[in-house]
Structure 1
Amino acid sequence: MKRLKQIIKDIKDAQEKGTDRSDLLWQLICYPPKMPVRLLQQNLLDEATKFSLSVYDAEFSATELRFNVFKWGSGKHKVLLTHGWGSKAIDFAELITTFRTMPDIEIVAFDAPGNGSSEGDLSNLGLYVQAVNAILRNGFVPKIVIGHSLGAMANTLAIHETGILPSLLISLTPLIRLKENFQFSMDSVGVTKVAQDNFFEKFEQLFKGQASAYNLVDLYHMNAEVKHWIAYDSQDLISPYAYIAEFLARNPAVVAVCYEGVGHDKIFKSPQVINDVVLQINVDT
């Protein structure tokens, strides 16, 4: 978190001086802040079976990155958890603890590349999608897939790419429009429109496509067999309701429930949301 604060300070200083520091924008957008593991979280990690897989980071390091995977239980009802940006597997501690009280459950969660304990400095949606793909193709076939924020977006793309379908997909405050999320981050620290336009031009060159293409309204192609349940907060600034509403209008089979005031980053810790997630799983199982 100290590094992120320094990045933001340096960007603001550069804006005031009129200095071109486009390199700092890549760090603002693609550096996931690291938060320490709390004692209770560490105790839960100590009880997990651990292994690692790898993905190739073509855009930033041009190397294979190892990412860490954690498993609890060995039941037939398999659950995959995909965390959001600047987060980690064990941030789902409340959900994991609750799931472990349920019969016949196997839970897998992971630290995405560049996040938590996994290798990498900068990260991006593509690395999240690759990580989910690697888990699915490593023989873990989940019946229930749960994602938060960017992790929810990654889940839907990975399911489409692999064709490995869960029976239940749960998305907690899913990101819908990636470019607009980038703009929100840059606007919040006073980045000029010219500097933002330059960033998106370089983004297009590096990723061989426009940031606006990463838009679930257009990219969502879920099989009708997959039940999709969304939890959101209508006051969420990171995943605004206008984008959620647009997505739901295009996909009327998706069920969505609003939880006012839970917040983008804490929705998966809300007792009410956790209770409703369990109800969804019980209905499905």
Structure 2
Amino acid sequence: MTFADELTLKVVSTFEGYKSSMKKLKELFTRVKAIDHRDNQDITDLLWQLICYSPKMPVRLQSQQLLDEATPFTLEADDPHFSCSMLKFNGFIWGNGSRRVLITHGWGSKAADFTELITALRMIDDLQIIAFDAPGNGSSEGELSNLSLFAKAAEAIVNTYGPPDILIGHSLGAMANTIVINSTNIKPSLLISIAPLVRLRENFIATMTAADVPVAAQDKFFEAFKLLVEVPASYFNLPGLYPDDAAVKHLLVYDKEDKTAPYSYLQKFLSNHPEILIKEYEAVGHERIIKDTGLIQDIVEAVKTATL
């Protein structure tokens, strides 16, 4: 088989993987939206799948090359809610410097989605960069995922490789990082939160409302959530989870027009924490913000300053 043939097969495989993952998500959404709620049917089990299924998007060829240059590792995180087992998750390490960077991705994402940022950070001397695919995401085990699994995976990395000097998180990953700071008592010299989720419950509501789930069915789901997780969904909000001394320096970046992480939620949090450095990026969107060249340049400069 020629190199061109191998390349073609990889492209086809990537495309097919993307179609399969998105097809499942679309089918779940369509099934929920098509339900006739007049008989007051309990659809809680289906809502768990809709909300907690994280599409596993395939890795781009450029990103795969980056992963191939990393030292891979596999750790485990306990999943008492869905699989009721220990789930293996995959991680990647670039460099062996004395200053450690840990990157936590967002929902439906993976380590490889930070290719541009990781490539730029690798140009900085004396860094060790760690990224991972949370359980239920990317290349890691798990059919369903949740915030707890993100945090447990990051905590396992901290316990195995030591506390990070720099902690970077996007979206749900930024909230997971806050949980890890609380659970491990680490205090990074630099915390970077990229378009952080602020209110998890409201994100659940937005998903269910988009699928035409009536309020009564939503209430049943939240009751089931509290029974299973032992805390209400409202517990998972950034203002309540965030410790006053989370990091020596905290840089938070956002897009005011972000529909996934509304600025109105973020505004109150920021007003209570004037010590947080903030920067707005216009028209980048919730997912694309991590690939924005201006943001990557700013993060590189912040990391360089923190490592002096």
Q: TM > 0.5 between the two?
A: yes
CA-CA distance at 1:157 after TM superposition:
1.1
TM-score, normalised by the number of residues in structure 2: 0.90
Match of 1:237 among 259, 279, 298: 259
Query: Do the aligned residues in 1 keep the contact of 2:117 with 2:290 (CA within 8 Å)?
Result: yes
| 1:135-284 paired onto structure 2 within 5 Å | 135-223=157-245, 226-284=248-306
What is aligned with 2:34? 13
Alignment deviations for residues 3-49 of structure 1 (CA, whole Å, 9 cap, x no partner): 10110011111147755432221011111011111111111111110
Distance 2:161 2:131 in 1: 14
CA-CA distance at 1:222 after TM superposition:
4.0
136 and 245 in structure 1: CA distance in 2 versus 1, 3 angstrom threshold:
same
Distance 2:142 2:93 in 1: 22
89 and 15 in structure 1: CA distance in 2 versus 1, 3 angstrom threshold:
farther
Please give the secondary structure, in 2, of the residue aligned with 1:53: strand
Distance 1:176 1:164 in 2: 21
Distance 1:263 1:17 in 2: 37
45 and 225 in structure 1: CA distance in 2 versus 1, 3 angstrom threshold:
closer
Distance 1:185 1:226 in 2: 35
CA-CA distance at 1:139 after TM superposition:
2.6
Distance 1:225 1:40 in 2: 33
Q: Which runs of 5+ in 2 are unaligned?
A: 1-21
Alignment deviations for residues 228-266 of structure 1 (CA, whole Å, 9 cap, x no partner): 110100011111001111110111111111111110011
Distance 1:113 1:140 in 2: 20
What is aligned with 2:147? 125
Bigger CA drift: 219-228 or 135-144?
A: 219-228
Distance 2:275 2:115 in 1: 30
Query: Do the aligned residues in 1 keep the contact of 2:70 with 2:93 (CA within 8 Å)?
Result: yes
Letter in 2 for 1:9: T
Deviation beyond 2 Å, 4+ runs, structure 1: 15-22
Is 1:49 the counterpart of 2:71 in the alignment? Answer: yes
Match of 2:49 among 19, 27, 32: 27
Match of 1:95 among 111, 117, 132: 117
Letter in 2 for 1:161: S
Alignment deviations for residues 41-85 of structure 1 (CA, whole Å, 9 cap, x no partner): 111111110011101101111100011010011112211000000
Please give the secondary structure, in 1, of the residue aligned with 2:130: strand
255 and 249 in structure 1: CA distance in 2 versus 1, 3 angstrom threshold:
same
What is aligned with 2:25? 4
Query: Do the aligned residues in 1 keep the contact of 2:75 with 2:156 (CA within 8 Å)?
Result: yes
- Number of aligned residue pairs: give it: 285
Q: Which runs of 5+ in 1 are unaligned?
A: none
Distance 2:126 2:38 in 1: 60
Bigger CA drift: 165-174 or 184-193?
A: 184-193
